[in-house]
A and B are shown apart, each in its own frame.
Chain A
Amino acid sequence: MSNYIIGEILNGILETAIMTIFSSLFAYIIGLPVGVLLYATSKGRLLENSKINLILGAVVNIMRSLPFLILLVLLIPVTRFITGSSIGTTATIVPLTVGAAPIVARMVESSLCEVSPGIIEAARSMGASPLYTIIHFIIPEATPSLLQGGAINVATILGYSAMAGVIGGGGLGAIAMNYGYYRYQKAVLWTTVALLVVMVMVIQGSGTLLAKKKRKT
């Protein structure tokens, strides 16, 4: 491999990292509150509200059932509107966020569901408001599970970011497409694949470790 390619790959690692980090961040900024709402408004929960739950659930399900590659194409006008361009690293963050947020929301919801109803009953008996119960009882109790889910989500986003390379996104995915696929440079293809695998392993490993350290039971 030429020095040029090596430089490109190093740059690709950085771009992939940036896309993954920012998309994860934005996906959680949207997905976490949505997940909490999905949880809290469902039947028998603190803020039971079947209307909100139904609407939110439907939106999340529709978004989640769209294949990511289709979402990428569909979102091109939106991406252009927000970032001024539809190609490159920054532009990819928009569809990545939109694609990942509903997955995050469902993951958060399922983590919160694991919290024992007894904890919630104890909070109510102490005179805690629903919001206080969610922030100070349910989320702290669900933290290890949220972290575990977080690792899975970030790894998924990393995988999606590579897919964005197909339609002009940046990062390792784009390099794999441009050099490995279109120009038959097998070495480049396998190198990027190996790097992606390592990155996923690092994310999953550190997430699991963090969750384990946090878990006190």
Chain B
Amino acid sequence: MGNIFELEHITKIYRNDGREFKALNDVSLEVCEGEIFGIIGMSGAGKSTLVRTLNRLEEVTEGVVRFRGKDLASLSDRDLRFERRSISMIFQGFNLLNQRTVLSNVEQPLRIAGVKGPERKAKAREMLEVVGLLEKENEYPSRLSGGQKQRVAIARALASEPSVLLCDEATSALDPRMTGEILDLLKKINEERRLTIVIITHEMSVVEKICDRVAIIDEGELAEIGDVKEVFSDPKSRAAKKLVFPSNPFDPSDPDGRLIRIVFDGTKSDEPFIANLVEQTGLKVNIISANTKSVGGIGYGQMIVELPKSPEDSKKVIDFFRSGGLKVTEVGSYE
């Protein structure tokens, strides 16, 4: 499958009162057609700026953004507006017109495209049907819940038959249940309509749930990019490790005790390896915390254990896990 977006050496510098702020620094990446691509980072990492370069809501200072092979910066205002109809966007704050009905909101992009009355209404209703809100067509947005508002925004975004949907923290203002509903809806749309989706988020759970590939942005730079499975089971950059392994809230029982983190991907998650350790080596470890989650239907997890006191025993334990194909890192060091 081809690339829908190609970003080459994107740098964005904001100038304010003579001071410069580098929001993006030499970011290069591709988004493939039909995938759900996640961009994750802490707030202020530059991910919102990055997504806005994809439809040129933000101009890049340096570098090239290509959409379906076209350099966006080379387009005239008119051509850019035309291309934007293929790049829809939804937002954290929904950005619906409060003084217009739900139906009229969904009609908006069609009106811009010059679609006439009855056809426009029919199309807008079809989109509301997709998001399951047809019965609300005559309501005003203020009467809807956050999740419903975002579904209206999705219907509006789909109305112009785009080839990409950009989601800027689209679930950050929603509670976990509504977030789940919206993500399920996005996944469904991705599958049924072959729509490429780019998701900006600061929540790892969003990426875990629906993304195929993920880029990690840290202080304006691309820290890591790859399949979600790989990044989750084997994060290489410091930023990725921080996101995948949240800091450990537990201390070892002994102040001098050493903690290790064992990471297991789908292939190892059904083996009783702690029991095997005890059986085969006779050594015991203290389980401090354990966490398994399903990423794309495969179980990934990590366990933090406290090692036996003697260095020799510790080494034996680590070697045992390593020989079993598990990744072992000492806690406290992300490097």
List residues of B (87-144) whose CB comes within 8 Å of A's CBs: 87-89, 91, 93, 95-100, 108-109, 111-113, 140-142
Taking the closest CB of chain B, its distance from the CB of A133, in whole angstroms, is: 9
Task: Check B187 for interface membership: any CB of A closer than 8 A.
Answer: no
Q: Contact check: which of A121, A127, A143 meets B81 at CB < 8 Å?
A: A127
- Bound together, the chains give a CA A123 to CA B112 distance in angstroms of 9
- Identify the interface centre among B77, B96, B98, B100: most chain A CB within 10 Å of its CB: B98
- Bound together, the chains give a CA A118 to CA B97 distance in angstroms of 10
Taking the closest CB of chain A, its distance from the CB of B211, in whole angstroms, is: 21
Q: Is the interface of B mostly helix, strand, loop or mixed?
A: mixed
Contact B142 A125 (CB under 8 A): no
Interface size class on chain B is 20 to 34
Stretch at the interface among A80-88, A134-142, A153-161: A134-142
Contact A119 B95 (CB under 8 A): yes
Q: Which residues from A are CB-within-8-Å of B99?
A: 140-141, 143-144, 214-217
Contact B112 A118 (CB under 8 A): no
Contact B97 A126 (CB under 8 A): no
Contact A141 B98 (CB under 8 A): yes
Contact B97 A127 (CB under 8 A): no
Q: Is the interface of A mostly helix, strand, loop or mixed?
A: helix
Contact A129 B81 (CB under 8 A): yes
**Interface 1/0 per residue, B161-180 and A, CB below 8 Å:** 00000100000000000000
Q: Which residues of B contact A (CB under 8 A)?
A: 55, 57, 77, 80-85, 87-89, 91, 93, 95-100, 108-109, 111-113, 140-142, 160, 166
Q: What 4 pairs across the A-B complex have the smallest Cβ distances?
A: A127-B84, A122-B95, A216-B140, A118-B95
Selected A-B contacts with CB under 8 Å, 17 pairs? A118-B95, A121-B91, A125-B57, A126-B84, A126-B88, A126-B160, A127-B82, A127-B84, A127-B113, A132-B112, A136-B108, A137-B108, A143-B99, A215-B99, A216-B98, A216-B140, A217-B140
